């Protein structure tokens, strides 16, 4: 991520200078996306540092969700940048200005090379990390944005079609929005403590009830603390006379090996004797 930060810093300087020199909105749009990359990487590095801090008496899970918040901020920033680009491009469509196609082409080629390099560097990282994945998607979308800049430059050079520049800007904005969907949805699901992707809670509960001696599972909750850290809590009712410690160990083994859930809190309960329930009801009357 530090390498990608340095690469994108250089690309931002090139993009802003190129946009000013060659009067290209597409180059500015691509620079705006690069700026969002810089913010994404900076937030990612801060989040990684926070995640490494130990747990305390007030934050018993530590700062692991710092990376989730950073990913959500990244996604929302992409939406805002896309909106600004589209508004500016609509104005340019009705009144296109003179664009230096050759200069825009050079900037686009430099941007494509830099973004491809940054994407390859990030792709070597831990892809299960939602924060790193967020930065990687920023970088990959930037590479596609550079292709749109190159296409606009070619259209201006060959056909003199200056409206290609704002049209390419809108295409870049669409790419930005597309890359933001997952970045907003997944952190939102984590913060809402939704079940992890691919985990069917009903099927998981049925599998737990299939363990020998388990008669019922209730108050079942499955959620994600942060990427790669799933947790489960449940009340487990066992039949009378069943070894509850053995049943708990079998449940933990099932959850770990089948669903990849290491962090579990199981409250083991023994089924009440029907005669005891009737006696309590009679006493209540």
Token couple for 268? 């083991």
Tens of pLDDT, residue by residue over 170-219, are 888 887 787 778 778 888 888 888 999 889 999 999 999 999 999 999 99
Q: With a threshold of 0.75, does the pTM exceed it? A: no
243 neighbors 274 (Cβ within 8 angstroms): no
For Cα atoms 28, 181, 183, give the angle at the middle one, nearest 5 degrees: 90
Q: Closest Cα partner for 255 from 232, 280, 278, 281? A: 232
Quote the pLDDT of residue 283: 46
Q: Closest Cα partner for 260 from 191, 204, 192? A: 204
Q: How far apart are CA 210 and CA 56, in angstroms?
A: 37
Tens of pLDDT, residue by residue over 11-35, are 889 988 988 888 888 888 888 778 8
Sheet holding 263-270, edge to edge: 214-226, 229-238, 263-270
Q: Indicate the angle between helix axes 2-22 and 101-123, nearest 10 degrees.
A: 170
pLDDT of 282 > 60? The answer is no
**127 band by pLDDT with thresholds 50, 70 and 90:** low
Q: Closest Cα partner for 135 from 246, 208, 33? A: 33
Token couple for 34? 């690069």
The domains found in the chain, sorted by start residue, are: 2-191 (1.20.1510.10), 201-284 (3.30.70.1350)
**151-175: average pLDDT:** 86
Sign of CA dihedral 187, 85, 172, 14: negative
**279 band by pLDDT with thresholds 50, 70 and 90:** very low
Q: How far apart are CA 99 and CA 23, in angstroms?
A: 6
Tens of pLDDT, residue by residue over 72-113, are 887 888 888 888 888 888 888 877 767 788 888 999 899 889
């Amino acid at each position: 991520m530090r390498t990608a930060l340095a690469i994108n810093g250089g690309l931002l300087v090139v993009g802003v200078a190129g946009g000013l020199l060659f009067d290209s909105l597409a180059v500015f749009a691509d620079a705006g996306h690069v700026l969002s990359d810089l913010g994404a990487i900076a937030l990612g590095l801060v989040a990684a540092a926070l995640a490494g801090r130990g747990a305390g008496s007030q934050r018993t899970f530590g700062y692991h969700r710092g990376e989730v918040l950073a990913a959500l901020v990244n996604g929302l920033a992409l939406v805002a940048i896309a909106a600004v680009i589209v508004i500016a491009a609509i104005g340019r469509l009705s009144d296109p200005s003179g664009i230096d196609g050759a200069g825009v082409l050079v900037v686009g080629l430099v941007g494509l090379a830099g973004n491809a390099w940054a994407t390859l560097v990030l792709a070597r990282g831990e892809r299960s990390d939602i924060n790193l994945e967020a930065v990687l998607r920023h970088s990959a979308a930037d590479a596609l944005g550079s292709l749109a800049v190159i296409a606009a430059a070619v259209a201006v050079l060959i056909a003199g079609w200056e409206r290609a520049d704002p049209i390419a800007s809108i295409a870049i904005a669409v790419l930005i929005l597309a890359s933001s969907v997952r970045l907003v949805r997944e952190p939102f699901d984590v913060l809402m403590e939704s079940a992890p992707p691919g985990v069917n809670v009903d099927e998981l509960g049925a599998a737990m009830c299939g363990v020998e001696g388990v008669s019922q599972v209730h108050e079942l909750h499955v959620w994600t603390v942060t990427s790669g850290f799933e947790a489960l809590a449940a009340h487990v009712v066992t039949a009378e006379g069943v070894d509850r410690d053995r049943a708990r160990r079998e449940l933990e083994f099932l959850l770990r090996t089948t669903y990849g859930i290491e962090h579990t809190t199981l409250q083991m309960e023994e089924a009440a004797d029907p005669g005891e329930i009737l006696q309590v009801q009679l006493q209540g009357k």
